Structure 1
Amino acid sequence: MAIDRATAALLGGALGDALGMPTQLLTPEEIDRTYGFVDRFVAPSDDHPVSRGLPAGAITDDTEQTLLLGRVLLESGAVFDHRRWVDALVSWEREVKARGSYDLLGPSTKRALDAINAGASPEDAGRGGDTNGAAMRIAPVGIVMPFEPLEALVAKVAETCSATHNTPIAIATASAVAAAVSCGVAGGNWREAVDCAEHAALRGANLGDGSARADVARLIRDARDLVRGRPEAEAIPLIVERIGTGVAAAESVPAAFAVLELAAGDPWRAAVVGANLGGDTDTIGAIAAGMAGACAGMASLPAGRIAELKGLDVEAVRLLAAELVAARFDRPDGRVAA
């Protein structure tokens, strides 16, 4: 079961990412005018600011960085290898630039990598990173780390955030997502996963550089309360207006939990809702559908849609999921084996 759910977490995230790829940065009105209601993979418009030229179903940096982090976790051993992670990100950035897609990098990651390339240490580069890049790629930490002990899971999240998102809000939001995935991999349902997320967010808010802190657990609760029992047509504008869908972690991560609530834990529905929100649709959809996938397993994912994904080796994802689960159970304290 754990491997099945871990695979669903990664592939669910990819579905949400690809479905939201053509709608990112647009308003809900622009999405409707350009594509109609998005419930299938569509190619971005020719004048899209960042996605133009990509085929329908293409994944973006959300999925690519998630898989990259998973590999580095496995290669690091018991202690997360910051230098290996930074080198992997810099190499990945170089490849992204060569593909002409540098604008797909998130602002905190882009700023941190530019600082590292200019000579800053990884420890200093992540200061000020308060966007959702850490949360969007954190699923492998949730797969490899059990929820208990909670301190160990959140510490591993904070380690992976250090170089690009070393702030309380980024660590708290990433901890919430990782905890939800971890709970799902262990067999929990999506409601149990959200409870785990709130506990992890409280602990993660005490870590990182800077004094600006947010009660992410409360933001998650408020977001879920906002949409509970409402139809999608009513809930979507409420998410946009009252929570926000921008790249700030304090907006997009609570929005993803609202989407999870609205979709009642269904991964594809979470991807669909995320794609029609406007703003950072690919990241919100990836986070929400990834958490849902971890809690529902592969049977909940549409196999036909997975087959339509572009730029993703599905068998490699399955293998990565299996390796991460093996590492999860390799040590009694949940650390990755060397």
Structure 2
Amino acid sequence: MDEGTRNRIRGAVLGQAIGDALGAPTEGMTRAGIREQFDRVVDFLSDDPAGTDDTEYAALTAQILLKYGTAVTPADVAREWTAALVDQETPFDGGGFSEMDAIHNLAKGLLPPASGSDNHELWSDGSAMRVAPIGAFAAGDPAEAARLAGIDAQVSHALDGIWCGQAVAAATAAAVTASSWQEVANAGLNATPEDSWSRRMIEKALAVAAGPGTEDERLDELERRVAIFHYPWADVAPEATALAFGVFAIAEGDYVEAVLGGVNIGRDADTIAAMAGAMAGALNGIDAIPTKWTKRLGPLRGSCIAAMAGVDLWRLADSIADSVDARKVLTDV
């Protein structure tokens, strides 16, 4: 594998985690509230930044893929979730509703797709938040990324919850080899079903991004037209995923501006910035991420998933790159 592709895979994995950590303090806020309190967030707000459940579930997803490869099945995902999560004795700090519902369903003996559909979180962004490693694993193959994301998502999601995960995975996979941000956005959009809620919301966000006004004005319009303020939670997958595609497009794929767009748009800011960070990191590579940010994130703490404590994201990204390289060698033989 050439170093450029390896650096894009690193960009996808680290880009997701850094977006997550940057966005954690503004989660649940509005743009107006962020402006009032911080003016504009341009760096970590914590002296000791760390990724949330988004990054720990992404690491679990990566480990499952590395273990089972492209032959992974929903039953494999359920088996690994059960082993890592069902008997966890410590609290799931920051764990999302969809994941907790899935864990309880697995504990009751339900398996995918029932474990991901016998709950009220069919539309949450818990799948989309964790698929950056899937996009990296399927580098350059959006269709394969969408297929794998669909397998992964069934343990905890259904319908739009799955489709949004497929959109982010496909976009990230495309970004590893893409030459333009438009290719990335189109790959994600094309991974969603025609006339689905997910697709309509992403189309709306991309239309706002392509509209008139300054970057700040378009971010304001993006929040106004996409955010679902009448719903009490900000983790609706079609909303958060659309906002991620919107900030990515407004930034024209630039890593720093895409991630900060997600941080400063509020709502489910950690997940929005994580998704935008995965796409932009994969498009531009690890060198586009400021060193002052990459140096701040150490091994995962296991705050939500105890089994993920100590995972090194750099090594995880390189393991994914090695797997991609090995599959390519087998294909070329």
Report TM bin, short chain.
0.7 to 0.9
Distance 1:234 1:157 in 2: 33
Q: Please, which of 122, 140, 150 is the counterpart of residue 112 of structure 2?
A: 122
Q: Is the 8 A contact 2:202 2:238 kept in 1?
A: no
Within 5 Å, give how 1:14-25 maps onto structure 2: 14-25=17-28
Instruction: Tell me, yes or no, if the aligned pair for 1:263 and 1:269 is still in contact at 8 Å.
Output: yes
Is it true that 1:153 corresponds to 2:145 in the alignment? yes
Rounded Cα–Cα distance in structure 2 between residues aligned with 1:58 and 1:169: 28
Query: What residue identity is the alignment partner of 2:251?
Result: A
- Per the alignment, residue 164 of structure 1 pairs with 156
Whether contact under 8 Å (1:12, 1:268) holds in the other structure is no
- Taking the aligned partners of 1:10 and 1:179, their CA distance within structure 2 comes to 14
TM (norm. structure 2) is: 0.83
Gaps of 5+ in 1: 44-54, 206-212
1:259 aligns with 2:255: no
Decide whether the 8 Å contact of 1:131 with 1:247 is kept in 2. Answer: yes
Aligned-residue sequence identity (percent) comes to 28
Distance in 1 separating the partners of 2:32 and 2:196: 30
- 2:181 equivalent in structure 1: 190
**Residue 328 of structure 1: how far off its partner (Å):** 2.8
Kindly provide the CA deviation profile for residues 114-161 of structure 1, in whole angstroms up to 9, marking residues without a partner as x. 2212332233110152211111111111112255482x4332221111
Corresponding position of 2:5: 2
Using the size of structure 1 for normalisation, the TM-score is 0.82
Q: Give the counterpart letter for 1:2 in structure 2.
A: T
Work out whether residues 22 and 49 of structure 2, in 8 Å CA contact, stay in contact via their aligned partners in 1.
yes
> Residues 14-53 of structure 1 correspond to what in structure 2 (within 5 A)?
14-43=17-46
Ranges in structure 2 where 5+ consecutive residues have no aligned partner: 229-233, 302-309
Residue 288, structure 1, aligned to residue 284, structure 2: no
Partner of 1:85: 77
Match of 2:207 in 1: 225
Number of equivalences: 311
Q: Is the 8 A contact 1:197 1:217 kept in 2?
A: no
Q: Report if aligned partners of 1:109, 1:164 keep a CA contact under 8 Å in 2.
A: yes
Task: Report if the CA contact (8 A) 1:252-1:284 is conserved.
Answer: yes
Distance of 1:17 and 1:69 partners within structure 2: 16
Contact 1:8 1:294 in 2 (8 A): yes
Aligned to 2:316: 320
Q: CA 1:253/1:110 → structure 2, altered by over 3 Å: closer, same or farther?
A: same
Specify whether residues 180 and 332 from structure 1 end up closer, same or farther in structure 2 by C-alpha distance, changes over 3 A only: same
| Deviation (angstroms), 1:237 | 2.5
- Distance in 1, Cα, partners of 2:290 & 2:207: 28
Alpha-carbon distance between aligned partners in 2 of 1:262 and 1:219, rounded to the nearest angstrom:
15
Alpha-carbon RMSD across the aligned residues, in angstroms, is 2.8
Structure 1 residues 233 and 282: alpha-carbon distance in aligned structure 2, compared to 1, 3 A threshold: same
Aligned counterpart, 1:75: 67
Matched, 1:141 2:134: yes
Structure 1 position 105 matched with structure 2 position 95: yes
Residue 172 of structure 2 aligns with which residue?
181
Q: 1:33 to 1:311 in 2, by over 3 A?
A: farther
Amino acid at match of 1:227: A
Work out whether residues 26 and 266 of structure 2, in 8 Å CA contact, stay in contact via their aligned partners in 1.
yes
- Distance 1:96-1:189 versus aligned 2 partners, 3 A rule: farther
Which range moved further: 112-121 or 156-165? 112-121
What is the CA–CA distance in structure 1 between the aligned matches of 2:329 and 2:163, rounded to whole Å?
22
Change (3 A) 1:334 1:284: farther
Query: Residue 207 of structure 2: SS of its match in structure 1?
Result: helix
Deviation at 1:275, TM superposition (A): 1.2
CA distance, structure 1, for counterparts of residue 270 and residue 49 of structure 2: 11
The answer to which of 281-290 and 28-37 deviates more is 28-37
Amino acid at match of 2:101: R
- For residues 197 and 56 of structure 1, the distance between their equivalents in structure 2, rounded to whole angstroms, comes to 33
- Residue 15 of structure 1, CA deviation: 1.4
